[in-house]
Chains A and B, each alone.
Chain A
Amino acid sequence: MKALAWVGLALLAAVPLTGIGNYPLHLVIMCLLWGYVYTSWSIMGRLGMVSFGHGAFFGIGAYAVVMLWNHFGLSPWIGAVAGVLLSALVAVVIGLPCFRFKIVGHYFALVTLALSEVTRLVIVALRDQTGGSLGTTPNTALAQGNSWSFAALQFSDKTVWFYAILAVWLAGLWVWARVDRSMTRLALEAISQEEDAAASIGINVTRSKLFVTLISAVMTSVGGVLYAQYQLYINPETVSGIGISLQMVFGVIAGGMFVMLGPTVGAVFTLLLAEGLRLALGDNFKDFPALDLAVYGALLVLFIIYMPKGILGAALDRLRRRAPPAVPTPAPAPR
């Protein structure tokens, strides 16, 4: 299994060397970037904290880095730190009272939804600085034939971005695995089953939840930074608000919330669906705007009803059933 993972990784790392062209490489980069962001979401989502507010952290990361660069000339490296700190602060300000006052389930989802809308509206309302709904572009540092600027975190070569985002994605998976093996995960699983009972055996509910929320928020905001620097264009609707927040939730659900690569599979699936339809319809694709989203929405409904473990989760279950492993499988993760 381990060997297989290394081979897979080596093949993935070799993708830019195959000369597949800019557009396919862009798609791979987007898969990795969204895979990373969805993984960040799933770190808390799979432990019973379904957040509809991650658009807030993504948007804070993206806008912090671009605003500091455009208005104060601060390097995106500093901007990224500022964005991460701000996201962490927001996560504590929202998370602490939520967890202390036992706001869970629907209520947690809807409070975080309000948070992501507040972020979007603040960005729109500060239109003199942020450009409002029209979005904004980081000032380019690539004048006079420069193809890259490390200090400005801008690279015109997609290969650089590929390796940078690959590294971040791997780091995200590593964090996922660390959290998966930690005591905090066990504590949070107990909490998500029965919060009062968990508290009664000495689990510090607020601290466990806040810890995982902070990790998830910080990682998501790094995703926002990367998105802004890679795309070089952001607008409030695409990086914050309810739309992007739901996109994260559903990407994870489609792929599978309880397995490490599930969120990434969700990201790949979403992109493949859009690209597949684009290829299948050819020139007619533009006559059917949002067809991919309509199919995606219908599939999501079917997934949640018939395949709540997602694509990868269901596939792994099937494999396991066909070839019963020698070692007893751990108890299935709670849904």
Chain B
Amino acid sequence: MEIFDIFLLEAVLNGILLGGLLALLSLGLNLIFGVIDVVWICYAELIMVGMYAVWLLHAKYAWPLLLAMAAGIALVALLGAVMHQLVIRPVMSAEPINQLLVTGGVLFFLQAAATLAFGIEFRNIGVRMPPIAIGEMSFSLPRIIAFGVAVAGVAATWLFLSRTYMGTAIRAISQDRQIMPLMGVDANRIFVVTSAIGGALAGLGGCLLVLQYDIHPAIGLSFGPITFLICVLGGLGNMLGGLVAAFIFAQFISVGGFFFHIEWGYVIAFAFFIAVMFWRPQGILARRQ
């Protein structure tokens, strides 16, 4: 029984580590939705682009890892801005569902482009880190690093939004998209900046994932659904809700996977999501109307 509890504790702690990472992944998507009111179905594919960029620069062209990561983040940030200008901007006034679908087209495109460029082989950057043992529990170092960086990334985004002029503008436009342009704000510029920040967060997420997982063109499909569901569970656009939801989801996956099989952890998490949607369609932290 003693051993059992130690392993359960390990699963819970691993869940917290995973939660930090999921919180970062969903933050960018949530920010974009909150400000631009468009769900990027292809968000996980941007994360994949970041992972491939780090792999290409570090493993193939032998750049130092941190430099490769910085370049990867910059690349995905640029991609986010380009994506807004080329894909989202033309459909800003279209039906909401068309906006959702157009990003689905981007999903197909990025996934296929990755297959075209890198093949379907699994790639990894070849960085191996020893596990860290605490008592009888052991934790993987990349997970701990990912947790720390993710928390720092979330905090930095928070500070940016609350302390800077641009952040204030972004928060203002997320509260009322109609009125701000009337007050002389160039809404599209704010949208492009937001998309770039969302892209940078995806790039950062990619840098952290690439330390733990192999890369392949379909990897977005394994992180994508869970990222959207976290955002919806927290209430689309509600960033605090998204953070809470990320940790709840991570516990379901980690502890559920401890008691059963890892897929059952996901099944329980998704079933929980569906149930919560019926109970609180506006997200767990939404005020009751």
A131: chain B residues at CB < 8 Å are none
- A304-B101 in contact (CB<8A): yes
- A300-B104 in contact (CB<8A): yes
B4-12, B106-114, B166-174, B183-191 - the one binding chain A: B106-114
- A291-B112 in contact (CB<8A): yes
A65-73, A117-125, A168-176 - the one binding chain B: A117-125
- B87-A125 in contact (CB<8A): no
By beta carbon, the residue of chain B nearest A296 is B108
A241: chain B residues at CB < 8 Å are 221
- A/B interface sample: 29 pairs, CB < 8 A: A50-B101, A94-B274, A101-B277, A101-B278, A106-B39, A106-B236, A109-B100, A111-B232, A114-B225, A114-B229, A117-B266, A118-B270, A121-B264, A121-B270, A122-B263, A125-B261, A243-B221, A250-B104, A250-B108, A291-B112, A293-B108, A296-B112, A297-B112, A300-B109, A304-B91, A304-B101, A304-B105, A305-B102, A308-B94
B52 at the interface (CB under 8 A from A): no
Q: Quick one: which of A102, A125, A297 contacts B267, CB cutoff 8 A?
A: A125
By beta carbon, the residue of chain B nearest A288 is B116
Number of interface residues of B (CB under 8 A): 49
Interface band, chain A? 35 or more
B115 at the interface (CB under 8 A from A): yes
CB distance from A237 to the nearest CB of B (A): 8
A290-333: CB near B (< 8 Å → 1, else 0) gives 11111011111101110010000000000000000000000000
Q: Quick one: which of B102, B115, B218, B273 contacts A304, CB cutoff 8 A?
A: B102
Q: Which of A102, A115, A253, A293 has the most CB of B within 10 A?
A: A293
Q: Quick one: which of A105, A111, A290 contacts B97, CB cutoff 8 A?
A: A105
A288: chain B residues at CB < 8 Å are 116
By beta carbon, the residue of chain A nearest B220 is A242
Q: Quick one: which of B101, B224, B225 contacts A250, CB cutoff 8 A?
A: B101
Assembled-state Cα–Cα distance A250/B103 (Å):
11
A113 at the interface (CB under 8 A from B): yes
A97: chain B residues at CB < 8 Å are 278
Q: Which 4 A-B pairs have the closest CB atoms?
A: A297-B109, A297-B108, A300-B105, A293-B112
A300: chain B residues at CB < 8 Å are 101-102, 104-105, 108-109
Residues of B whose CB lies within 8 Å of any CB of A are: 39, 41, 87, 90-91, 94-98, 100-102, 104-113, 115-116, 119-120, 217-218, 221, 224-225, 228-229, 232, 236, 260-261, 263-264, 266-267, 270-271, 273-274, 277-278, 281
- A253-B101 in contact (CB<8A): yes
A92 at the interface (CB under 8 A from B): no
Are A305 and B90 CB-contacts (below 8 A) given A249-B104, A290-B115, A300-B108? yes
- B278-A109 in contact (CB<8A): no
Residues of A whose CB lies within 8 Å of any CB of B are: 50, 94, 97-98, 101-103, 105-107, 109-111, 113-115, 117-118, 121-122, 124-125, 241-243, 246, 249-250, 253, 288-294, 296-301, 303-305, 308, 335
- B267-A249 in contact (CB<8A): no
- A111-B263 in contact (CB<8A): no
Assembled-state Cα–Cα distance A121/B102 (Å):
26
Besides A101-B281, A111-B277, A289-B120, 12 new A-B residue pairs in contact (Cβ under 8 A), listed by A number: A107-B232, A109-B100, A114-B229, A250-B108, A297-B112, A297-B113, A298-B109, A300-B101, A300-B102, A300-B104, A300-B109, A304-B91
By beta carbon, the residue of chain B nearest A306 is B90
- A297-B106 in contact (CB<8A): yes
Q: Which of A94, A98, A303, A304 has the most CB of B within 10 A?
A: A304
Q: Which of A102, A110, A296 has the most CB of B within 10 A?
A: A110
A110: chain B residues at CB < 8 Å are 39, 228-229, 232
- A294-B87 in contact (CB<8A): no
CB distance from A69 to the nearest CB of B (A): 24
- A109-B97 in contact (CB<8A): yes
B119: chain A residues at CB < 8 Å are 289
CB distance from B126 to the nearest CB of A (A): 24
A111: chain B residues at CB < 8 Å are 232, 273-274, 277
By beta carbon, the residue of chain A nearest B86 is A301
- A121-B228 in contact (CB<8A): no
